[in-house]
Amino acid sequence: MNSDSHLSTSTYNINPIFNINLLFMFALVFFQFACEDNLNKNESERLLFISSEGNFGQSNGSISVFDGSKKVQEVLDVGDVLQSILIHENHLFAILNGTSEIKRYAISEGGISMPGITISTENSSPREMIVLNDKLYFSNWSSKDIKILNLNTFVIENSIPVDGLPEDIITDGTHLFVSIPHLTLYDQGNGSTVVKIDPLAGQVITSYEVGRGPQHMVIHDNKLIVSRTHYSENWYQTFFGTTQIDLSSENIIQTEHGEGIVCGGNVMVFQDQVYRTSLGGIVPLDQNDLSLDIAARIGNYTSKDSYYNPNVYSSTVIGDEIFFGITNDFVSPDSVYIQYNDSEILLEVGAAPGDYASWQKSN
């Protein structure tokens, strides 16, 4: 028998269990590479920016920049309580709530250019922002208004007063919608309105009663969905609700989710379905009755100590990716998990990850 025949015979006499194990190993390696390829599909196509609030009074808010899963830049000590970020064209805007500032950075394929420019908001305690028609509108707690930043001159050219402390701000492309969760600073979520603003007239034109504690908002199928959170008089109990406004008919429906259902503050749209953060993940929200489908939850980032003590500090959706900002102790480093096509990637960021933005490269 020649050597080739001997090799052939030896191959066919290998233990079949060994063959199965070998095939399993190859399949596992292939799956791992496929997952990495999926999770890095955006590498060389976009930059991901994650802002971390930091700790009050320590001016340690930070911005982490990722190309795929690789951290390419980390900007430390941006300021006191980095509340939110937004990308408009080739610039990143960052709101610092504690120091009442807006920072603007130019973006390139290598990250953001330092030091950027700083715009004082005059102790207004800014919160969230949106860009419409080359103007940046942002909510403010201390001054109880929506201020308007001209993006050509970087001058705050006007403000729109509101009755309470405004939080989230979004647009349908024509009007602005602003949630007002508080009437006074640090009350238990006693605000109960969402206001509609005509930016051309520079004034509130409609006020919707939506229930106590309106927070984050999203628009889907011409309906405005509002997450709500408020507290008992002694702060011991937390209550969660959701409200939906039909922007065509202005019909309003709302629900209280009751005790035992721990919700977060974020609402989002994923694959044409509205979701809300709940129980350490995100769960589908039925737009007919605003019920939560807990069984269809995506993500399970609950505390090791208690199922009802989730560690999810923030969550959002960008394209087909779901982001979960996780903190256990509000001390850096914290974590962000990205779920994409049943795969998961872990990123290390600063303390209390709170906001996310994506910038497409020019290629």
Round to whole Å and give the CA distance between 198 and 146: 12
How many angstroms separate the first and last alpha carbons of the chain? 60
Nearest of 354, 362, 323, 360 to residue 128 by alpha carbon: 354
250-269 pLDDT, tens digit per residue, is 999 999 997 656 777 899 99
Do 271 and 320 touch, CB atoms closer than 8 A? yes
Do 228 and 193 touch, CB atoms closer than 8 A? no
Tell me, what's the pLDDT at 19?
45
Phi and psi, residue 105, nearest 5°: -120, 140
Q: What is the H or E stretch that residue 28 is in?
A: helix 16-39
Tell me, what's the pLDDT at 331?
92
Q: Computed from CA positions of residues 174, 91, 179, 246, in that sequence, does the dihedral angle turn out positive or negative? A: positive
Which residue type, as a one-letter code, is found at position 221? D
Tell me, what's the pLDDT at 294?
92
60-107 pLDDT, tens digit per residue, is 999 999 999 999 999 999 999 999 999 999 999 999 999 999 999 999
Tell me, what's the pLDDT at 307?
47
Tell me, what's the pLDDT at 259?
63
> How many CB atoms are located within 10 Å of the residue 33 CB?
10
Is the bond preceding 166 in cis, omega lying within 30 degrees of 0?
no
- Kindly state the DSSP code that residue 151 receives in the 8-state scheme: T
Chain center to CA of 49: 11
SS3 134: coil
DSSP assignment string, 326-350: E-SSS-SSEEEEEEETTEEEEEEES
Tell me, what's the pLDDT at 145?
98
Q: 87 is written with which tokens?
A: 């990308």
Do 219 and 261 touch, CB atoms closer than 8 A? no
Do 335 and 350 touch, CB atoms closer than 8 A? no
Round to whole Å and give the CA distance between 304 and 324: 17
Round to whole Å and give the CA distance between 177 and 352: 26
Scanning the structure block, which residue is given the tokens 């629900």?
255
Tell me, what's the pLDDT at 44?
66
Q: Render each residue's pLDDT in the chain as its tens digit; 363 residues.
A: 433 333 333 333 434 443 444 444 444 444 444 444 555 554 568 999 999 999 999 999 999 999 999 999 999 999 999 999 999 999 999 999 999 999 999 999 999 999 999 999 999 999 999 999 999 999 999 999 999 999 999 999 999 999 999 999 999 999 999 999 999 999 999 999 999 999 999 999 999 999 999 999 999 999 999 999 999 999 989 999 999 999 999 999 999 997 656 777 899 999 999 999 998 999 999 999 999 999 999 998 875 554 445 588 999 999 999 999 999 889 999 999 999 998 999 999 999 999 999 999 985
Phi and psi, residue 146, nearest 5°: -110, 120
pTM of the model: 0.87
| Domain residue ranges of the chain, discontinuous segments joined by + | 1-39
- Kindly state the DSSP code that residue 286 receives in the 8-state scheme: -
